[in-house]
Amino acid sequence: MAGKKVLIVYAHQEPRSFNGSLKKVAVDELGAQGCTVTVSDLYAMDFEPRATRKDITGAVSNPEFFNYGVEAYEAFKKGALTSDIIDEQKKVQEADLVIFQFPLYWFSMPAILKGWMDRVLCQGFAFDIPGFYDSGFLKNKLALLSLTTGSTAEMYMKTGVSGDYRYFLWPLQHGALHFCGFKVLAPQISFAPEIASEEERKAMVASWAQRLKTIWEEEPIDCTPPWYFGQ
**Residue 15 above 90 pLDDT?**
yes
| Residue whose C-alpha is closest to residue 144's, from 164, 119, 172 | 172
Name the pTM for this structure: 0.97
Host H or E run for residue 84: helix 83-94
**Which pLDDT value is given to residue 1?**
87
**Which pLDDT value is given to residue 2?**
83
| Residue whose C-alpha is closest to residue 137's, from 85, 75, 180, 76 | 180
**Which pLDDT value is given to residue 141?**
98
Cα torsion angle, 144, 149, 153, 155, sign? negative
Stretch 63-81: mean pLDDT: 97
Q: What is the pLDDT of residues 74-116, one digit of tens each?
A: 999 999 999 999 999 999 999 999 999 999 999 999 999 999 9
Interatomic CA distance for residues 30 and 1, integer angstroms: 8
Rounded-to-10 torsion of CA 54, 56, 57, 63? -90
Q: What pLDDT band is residue 18 in, cutting at 50, 70 and 90?
A: very high
Omega of the bond prior to 130 within 30 degrees of 0, cis?
yes
CA atoms lying within 13 Å on the CB side of residue 54? 6
Cα torsion angle, 48, 143, 208, 6, sign? negative
Q: What pLDDT band is residue 128 in, cutting at 50, 70 and 90?
A: very high
